[in-house]
Structure 1
Amino acid sequence: MDKQRLFGPKGPRLCDCLERGLSFLLQIQAPTVVCAPQFGSASETVSTHQGSEDSFCATIDVSQFKPDDLKVAVIGQFIVVEANHPEREDELGFVERHFTRKFRLPRNVPAEAVTSNLTADGHLTVTAIAPKPKEDSTARTIPIKMVPKSEGSEISSQNNA
């Protein structure tokens, strides 16, 4: 490879500098433990989410919270999941956690259809399924009433007006 032709008159020096820098970076070993803040994912993780106009289902890992720390509500057109626990001690020190997750309520699902379940291992499942339309299986025959012509004419003349 002709470095001068590829990068111009300063090409050879530039390439040598880059090669030295890369070889230095390759010798650095990454630390085995990195302590960095994790926002959201450490507190709650939505593992599954499915939604349509007629149904909704989301499963959230809330294993860091006690059942009393959790709240599920419908506010306007949103399903709101909140979790909050006060400061408590853990193996690294003290921690306080809080999150709020909002999901849009499907168009055809009434607020009363929202349910939630919490498993023993800390997975909260929120579901909302639109109720099936009630089918009226009873047939009703509508009687036909005979009326004199003058009575029927008044109705048809009112409809034409």
Structure 2
Amino acid sequence: MARVLRARKVIHHHIYSSIWSNIKEEVSVILYNSIWLLGSGDFIRFWNDNWCGSVLSEVFNIPSHISQSLTSSVSDYIFNGQWNLPPHLSQHYNTISYLVQQVIIPIEPSHDKLLWKQTDSGDLKLSDAYLFKVPQFQDLHWAKVIWSPDIPPSKSLLVWRIMDNKVSTYENLMIRGCALP
């Protein structure tokens, strides 16, 4: 992930790779479906990363032009292994203390880790990404019946289109915005 991001922003210039143009479009999806596991807190942005169950700038409806300038890290609010929120912050945002206190600070310092929320292990594997992105197809029990050597393919195709509601009927054309006299 570090190679695709610079200063927490997706690299938009060309990188010689056969898959980069598609991957960079999915970084926001990956970040939206990930959560940070607190280690030292040095690499986790306090306001703009999901580390306590949600992104704090979104929870408190902080406008994006303001939230982008909030650069403090989670480690800025930890002192001697305990949460140390400024009193004015807790007063202005009532529930921030509750949200922050739900996250346990590790006793032994470790690295912050980005976890994929869609798996039990937290690791994002290619197979997990594929299952996440590819829609799960419904079981079409009738498909085996119509695609038979006994039925001409043109008839099977017509039945398939009828069952999938893809035939150019008047109603279907109207739904797709075609105006007919």
TM over 0.5: no
Q: Hey, which of these two has a bigger chunk of strand by percent?
A: 1
Q: TM-score, normalised by structure 2?
A: 0.20
- Structure ID, larger Rg: 1
Q: Hey, which of these two has a bigger chunk of helix by percent?
A: 2
Q: TM-score, normalised by structure 1?
A: 0.21
